[in-house]
Amino acid sequence: MFDRHRTSLFYDCQTTVSRVTLTPTEISCEPDLAAVDIASLLQALSDPVRLKIVRQLDEAGSDGLTCGQLDIPVGKSTCSHHLKVLLHAGVTAEREAGTRKYVRLRRDELDERFPGVIGSVLGAVSG
């Protein structure tokens, strides 16, 4: 079933991965906001579910929320997708605490990079 070439490639990959010494808290997934443009930010905020997530994260403050604490009308995999979109757009940041992953809104950083955009978007949608 297995040929020698594929098995050795898999073994080499395992050996390489086992040498990595970074802890999960050292790995940063969110982009530098200097590299994020306004179009990417607005595209990430254009979905109603993501707007609901951002509003809840804004209300939660700097502690953030876990995926299970979000009150949104979608399944777990769809929630994960929306959180990933927000993360890659620079809207959110993640931190690990034990076995949980907390997501927080990067409100201060976003307000510094794009003054008033998050407040305007959230205010326009809620009011």
Ordered domains of the chain (ranges, CATH): 27-126 (1.10.10.10)
Tokens 């997934």 correspond to: 29
| Predicted pLDDT at 26 | 38
What's the whole-model pTM score?
A: 0.74
E-only strand ranges, the chain: 92-97, 100-105
Interacting residues of 121 by C-beta distance below 8 A, sequence separation 6+: 42, 45, 51, 54
The percent of residues above 70 in pLDDT, for the chain, comes to 76
Average pLDDT of the chain, as a whole number? 81
Q: Residue 98: is its pLDDT beyond 50?
A: yes
If you ran DSSP here, which 8-state letter would residue 65 be given? Answer: B
